[in-house]
Amino acid sequence: MKNYYKIAIILSFFGLWLTSFFSIENQIITGFSLILTFGILHGGNDILIAKNILLQKKAYSFIQILCFYIAIISFCSFLFYLIPAVILFLFILVSGYHFGEQQLRFLNNHKNKIIIQSIQLFHGLLILFFMFEFHSKQVRDIIFDITSVEITPNYITYSLYGILIVFSFGCLYLFVEFKNLTKTLFKELFFLLVFIIIFKVSSLIWGFTIYFILWHSLPSIFDQITFLYGDYSKLNFIKYIKAAALYWFVSLIGLAIFYFFLNDIKHFNALFFVFLAAITFPHVLVILFMQLKIKKTE
C-alpha cells in the first residue's frame, strides 16, 4: 500500500465534495454507517491479535482472553455510567494517543520513548481538538449529554492553543534530532493541514468519518493484516474480514438494542460515542502490545 496516502487525500476531498449533495441528516446516516462497518471492523480482530501475542507464552487460553476483553468493555461501560466526566476525559487522552501513534508509527523504533510517545499523544490530541474547535457547540452538547457537565467554548479553544504549543516544541525536537526524517515529518504536517480543512469544511460526523475511516481505520487494518498473516494481499484481507465478522456482528446488535430503547438522535449521538469509547480502551491496549511485538522482531 505504498501509494495509499495519495489515494486517501483524493478520497478525502471527494468526500468533502459529496457534502454538496448530502444533507446534514444524510451525512450523519452515511457517516454512522461507514463507522459501523470499516470503523468497528478495524477493531474486530483484537481477540485474534491478542491470541497471537499471548498464547505463545502458553499462559492464557483463547476463552480467557475473550472473557478478559469483554470484561474490560463491560467495566468501561459501567464506569461511564458511574463517573462519566472522568472516563470521557480518559477516553479523549487514550484516543489522542491511539490516533497519534497510528499516524506517527514510523517513530516507534526510535529511542527516547517517553518523548516520542508524548509527541504522538499531542499529535492525536491536536487532531481531535481541531475537530472540537470547528464544531464547538455540537461537541459541548454531546459532552453535556454524556456527563451533565457544561463547558465553555473558551475551554476548547484554550486547550487547542496549549496542545498546539506543546506539539510545536515536539516538532522542533524531531527536526533537530531526526534530520533523516525531515521529508516524512513535513509530509505529516501536510496531512495535518488536510485534516484541518476536512474538519473546517464538513459537519462533525462527516469530518470524523473521513478521518476515522481513511486515515486511521484502513491503515490500521493494513498493519494488522501484515502482523497476523505476514503481508498484505487481497486474500489476507478476506481472511481478516471473515475473522472479524462475528465481533462486528455482535457489536452492531449491541448498539441496535441500545438504540431501540433510546430512539432519539440527539441522545443517540452521545450514546454512539460512549459505545466507541467502551470498545476503544481494550483495542488501544491490543494495538499497543502488537506494536511492541513488531518492534522486538525488527
Q: What pLDDT does 267 receive?
A: 56
Q: CB pairs under 8 A, 24+ apart, for 43-46? A: 43/247, 43/279, 43/280, 43/283, 44/243, 44/244, 44/245, 44/247, 44/248, 44/251, 45/224, 45/228, 45/240, 45/243, 45/244, 45/247, 46/247, 46/282, 46/283, 46/286
List, in sequence order, every beta strand (DSSP E) within the chain: none
| CA pair distance 215, 219, nearest whole angstrom | 6
Q: And the C-alpha cell for 114?
A: 517517553
Q: What are phi and psi of 59, to 5 degrees?
A: -105, -20
Chunked mean pLDDT (size 10), the chain, 298 residues? 84 89 81 79 74 62 69 76 85 90 84 88 96 94 85 93 96 90 92 95 91 90 86 87 76 65 55 71 77 67
Distances (CA, A) of 227 to 52, 110, 215, 231, 295: 9, 20, 19, 7, 11
55 by Cβ neighbours in 10 Å (0-12 / 13-18 / 19+) ranks as middle
Q: What pLDDT does 79 receive?
A: 78
Radius of gyration of the chain (CA): 19
List Cβ neighbours of 220 (8 Å cut-off, separation of 6 or more): 42, 102, 287
Q: What pLDDT does 245 receive?
A: 77
| CA pair distance 68, 81, nearest whole angstrom | 20
